Amino acid sequence: MPDNKLPADKVAPEDSPLFASTLARGLEVIMAFRAGNPSMNLPEIAAATGITKSAAQRFAFTLEALGYLRKDPQSKRYQLTPRALSLGFGYLQTDSLIDRASPYLHQLNRECHESCNLSEPDGYEMVFVARFPSHNQVMIPMPLGLSLPMYCTASGRAYLSRLAPRVCAELLESMPRPMQTHATITDLNALLDKIAEAREEGCSSIEGEYFLGDISLAAPIVDAGGTPLGAINISVPASRWSFEDARKAFAPALIHTAHAISSAGWSQRAGGFR
């Protein structure tokens, strides 16, 4: 997550008397269950969240009572229940950008027959919030809610391209930039060059920087003031497309769709709710 350094006269959120630390800890317990930790016992929950075993027991009991966790009676291990989906589903139901973009993405998907997605920023990552899958076989699963790093994805670079250059550079410099594949660009100056290209061309394109064999093109969605809200992307496999052919085939329609989605929201006050 970004390193949000506060001025000396500002109070960190967790130090505010309004901060509900118990609620924060409970959410941390839920968030600790991920692909690498689909089920955990109490010591594992405590280790994953940095709380004591007794606190883990209280949180696990409460979340089980509320229906968000279930416990296996034999192994004593906990895992999420389908009710946990409701915590994120409310966002999918109420986010106005998803509602606005979906008809345009659906039309783009019908025209290109390839996977079309909407992503929104969260810290150093882009989160898939709407998806229209390819009409062809897709080898890489991309479920809603999946988070991918900004620096090595087309959607992330498209979003970064509409930030002020200084803000973009500071954000890139502060985020971790590990190699994801042999093709991943991690050098700050090289990334800034790629983002400058995206800013000039209106879209970003990458090949194999996060998933080998994946080609992705993305264009930013902005509000009336030019502030980026997210990005839409088309993803195709390198087994069916060359990088240059994909750019020629999809970039114009992608940029046009991004402009249409952006302009559809320009009647709203710049900087307000999307």
Residues 68 and 146 in one domain: no
| Arithmetic mean of pLDDT, 238-255 | 96
Closest CA to 152 of 187, 111, 105: 187
Residues 222 and 191 in one domain: yes
257 within some domain? yes
DSSP string, 184-231: ----HHHHHHHHHHHHHHS-EEEESSSSTTEEEEEEEEE-TTS-EEEE
CA distance 202 to 205: 10
Q: Which of 83-87, 264-268, 270-274 shows the lowest per-residue confidence on average (mean pLDDT)? A: 270-274
Residues 100 and 118 in one domain: yes
Return the amino acid letter for 88: G
Residue 79: which H helix or E strand, with range?
strand 78-80
**pLDDT score of 273 more than 60:** no
Buried b (16+ CB within 10 A) or exposed e, 84-105: beeeeeeeeeebebbebbbebb
Return the amino acid letter for 32: A
pLDDT at position 35: 80
Give the domain extent around 121. 95-264
CATH number of the domain within which 39 lies = 1.10.10.10
**Is there a contact between 196 and 188 (Cβ–Cβ < 8 Å)?**
no
pLDDT at position 9: 53
| Arithmetic mean of pLDDT, 49-69 | 95
Buried b (16+ CB within 10 A) or exposed e, 234-251: bbbbeeebeeeebbebbb
CA distance 114 to 134: 4
Place of tokens 């979003």: 159
CATH number of the domain within which 127 lies = 3.30.450.40
Q: Is 69 helix (H, G, I), strand (E, B) or coil?
A: strand
CA distance 153 to 159: 10
250 within some domain? yes
**pLDDT score of 265 more than 90:** no
8 within some domain? no
Residues 167 and 103 in one domain: yes
Residues 186 and 258 in one domain: yes
Residues 77 and 140 in one domain: no
7 against 113, higher pLDDT: 113
273 within some domain? no
pLDDT per residue as tens digits for the range 85-144: 888 888 888 899 999 999 999 999 999 999 999 999 999 999 999 999 887 766 667 788
218 within some domain? yes
Choosing from 26, 51, 86, the residue where a domain stops is: 86
pLDDT at position 271: 45
Choosing from 62, 86, 110, the residue where a domain stops is: 86
pLDDT at position 29: 96
Label residue 1 by pLDDT band (50, 70, 90). very low
Average pLDDT of the chain is: 91
pLDDT per residue as tens digits for the range 161-187: 999 999 999 999 999 999 999 999 999
pLDDT at position 34: 87
pLDDT at position 267: 55
**pLDDT score of 6 more than 60:** no
149 within some domain? yes
Total count of domains within the chain: 2
6 within some domain? no
Residues 123 and 195 in one domain: yes
pLDDT at position 163: 97
**pLDDT score of 3 more than 80:** no
The residues, ordered by sequence, that sit 6+ positions from 128 with a Cβ below 8 Å of its Cβ are 117, 118, 119, 142, 143, 144, 145, 146, 147, 148
Residues 119 and 229 in one domain: yes
143 against 1, higher pLDDT: 143
pLDDT at position 144: 85
Choosing from 67, 86, 105, the residue where a domain stops is: 86
| Arithmetic mean of pLDDT, 225-236 | 96
Tokens of 118: 């909407």
pLDDT per residue as tens digits for the range 61-80: 999 999 999 999 999 999 99
Q: Is 5 helix (H, G, I), strand (E, B) or coil?
A: coil
Hey, which residues does 128 pair with through a beta bridge? 119
The pTM of the full predicted model, rounded to 2 decimals, is: 0.84
Residues 73 and 106 in one domain: no
DSSP string, 115-163: EEEEEEEETTEEEEEEEE--SS--SS---TT-EEESTTSHHHHHHHHTS
Residues 72 and 118 in one domain: no
CA distance 195 to 214: 19
**Is there a contact between 72 and 39 (Cβ–Cβ < 8 Å)?**
yes
CA distance 108 to 116: 7
| Arithmetic mean of pLDDT, 240-253 | 96
Residues 199 and 181 in one domain: yes
